Amino acid sequence: MAAGLRAVRRWGLVAAPPSLAFTRSAFVVKKANNAQPNWPGVGLAFGTSAVLWALLIKQHNEDVMEYERRKARAHKCKQCS
């Protein structure tokens, strides 16, 4: 039994516990400098948000106008016919 377990370990079939001494994040290259914000990134984030909100409001207004147009066309009563 012990020989089989050694063979499994030798061939790398058992996952080894991660070593915290040699792990690091691939996304953190340097420490963030909070004294100098990334202004182009901030502007891009807020600008994108503003554009998306403008498109959302424009689409909503178009949808409301289409709803009103269809509602007015579908109006059927004895006085109008």
**Using an 8 Å Cβ cutoff, are 14 and 20 in contact?**
no
How is residue 76 written in tokens? 């059927």
pLDDT digits (tens, 9 = 90+) for 10-51: 666 555 555 555 666 667 677 778 899 899 999 999 999 999
Q: Per this entry, what is the length of the chain?
A: 81
Q: What is the mean pLDDT of residues 49-64?
A: 98
Q: What's the confidence (pLDDT) of residue 2?
A: 64
Q: What's the confidence (pLDDT) of residue 15?
A: 58
For residues 27 and 24, give the distance between their C-alpha atoms in angstroms, rounded to a whole number: 9
CB under 8 Å to 8, separation ≥6 — which residues? 14
Amino acid, single-letter form, for residue 11: W
pTM for this entry? 0.52
Pure H helices in 1-81: 2-10, 39-73
Q: What's the confidence (pLDDT) of residue 16?
A: 57
